[in-house]
């Protein structure tokens, strides 16, 4: 068993070819141990979402390797990867991805049911996760019956539900007012304090301050790394 929940080893991701080649990531190495929250900052287009997608096994690197709890994702088949993602990885997408035909509770319960948990227990776990982010009251509403902030919290509950050991969040506070945003980060922080590992993409220094460490991306490369809270001189580079 690896000492890291997630490890990227010299990872590059190239899109396209010829004149349209985009180097989304170039030679990125980083690792996050259980109990640790790592923030990823950087300007738009610097590769933050690409990094998270690779970490979650939603995309594959062009070079290098990604390891979750010591398992090289590149060596898993489609089914093995899907199972590892459902069981171990909670992912908050930049564009939420809630299923419109399912209620909040059904959206949150889905990954558990897909993993073989009985419907009754999956619903109980879903309600617990919804309560954790303070939206248990919308459990039986459909996404189009909720505010943007409520939808975002439901998406976060879906990432937290069950025994997830790795939390990946891509600007998870975008649609939230600052008070709610901070409380959601507090929930992610608490999960990491309880032993999960987290990767948090954010462009707000205030949010990165919840993390133990911050890495800064620029043009697909890690250009700086610091313990949080970052010195003002580093954070100013981002604005």
Q: Which stretch binds ligand ADP (CB under 6 A): 1-9, 46-54, 78-86, 130-138?
A: 46-54
User: Does 202 interact with ligand ADP (rule: CB under 6 A)?
Assistant: no
User: Does 46 interact with Mg ion (rule: CB under 5 A)?
Assistant: no
User: Does 22 interact with ligand ADP (rule: CB under 6 A)?
Assistant: yes
**Helix (H, G, I), strand (E, B), or coil: what is residue 199?**
strand
User: Does 238 interact with ligand ADP (rule: CB under 6 A)?
Assistant: no
Q: Burial of 82 by CB count in 10 Å (0-12 exposed, 13-18 middle, 19+ buried)?
A: middle
Count the residues of the shown chain that bind Mg ion, applying the rule CB under 5 A: 2
Report the alpha-carbon distance of residue 40 to residue 26 in Å, rounded.
15
Among 203, 199, 165, residue whose Cα is nearest residue 28 = 199
Binding-site member from 5, 12, 48, 125 for ligand ADP (CB under 6 A): 48
Q: Which stretch binds ligand ADP (CB under 6 A): 45-53, 85-93, 112-120, 207-215?
A: 45-53
Report the alpha-carbon distance of residue 31 to residue 127 in Å, rounded.
32
Binding-site member from 3, 10, 15, 190 for ligand ADP (CB under 6 A): 15
Footprint of ligand ADP on this chain (CB under 6 A)?
Answer: 15-16, 22, 24, 42, 44-50
């Amino acid at each position: 068993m690896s000492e890291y929940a997630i490890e990227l080893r010299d990872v590059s991701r190239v899109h396209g070819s010829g004149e349209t080649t985009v180097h989304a990531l170039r030679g990125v190495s980083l690792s996050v141990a259980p109990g640790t929250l790592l923030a990823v900052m950087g300007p738009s287009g610097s590769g933050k979402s690409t990094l998270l997608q690779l970490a979650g096994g939603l995309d594959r690197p062009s070079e290098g390797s990604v390891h979750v709890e010591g398992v090289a994702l590149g060596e898993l088949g489609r089914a093995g990867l899907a199972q590892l993602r459902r069981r171990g990885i909670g992912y908050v997408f930049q564009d939420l991805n809630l299923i419109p035909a399912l209620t909040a509770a059904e959206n949150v319960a889905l990954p558990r049911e897909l993993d073989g948990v009985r419907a009754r227990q999956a619903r109980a776990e879903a309600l617990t996760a919804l309560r954790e982010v303070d939206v248990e009251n919308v459990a039986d509403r459909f996404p189009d019956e909720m505010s943007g902030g409520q939808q975002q919290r439901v998406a976060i509950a879906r990432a937290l539900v069950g025994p997830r050991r790795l939390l990946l969040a891509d600007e998870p506070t975008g649609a939230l007012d600052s008070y709610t945003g901070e409380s959601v980060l507090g929930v992610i922080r608490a999960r990491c304090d309880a032993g999960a590992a987290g990767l948090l993409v954010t462009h707000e220094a205030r949010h990165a301050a919840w993390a133990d460490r911050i890495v800064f991306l620029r043009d697909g490369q890690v250009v700086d790394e610091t313990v949080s809270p970052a010195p003002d001189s580093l954070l100013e580079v981002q604005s």
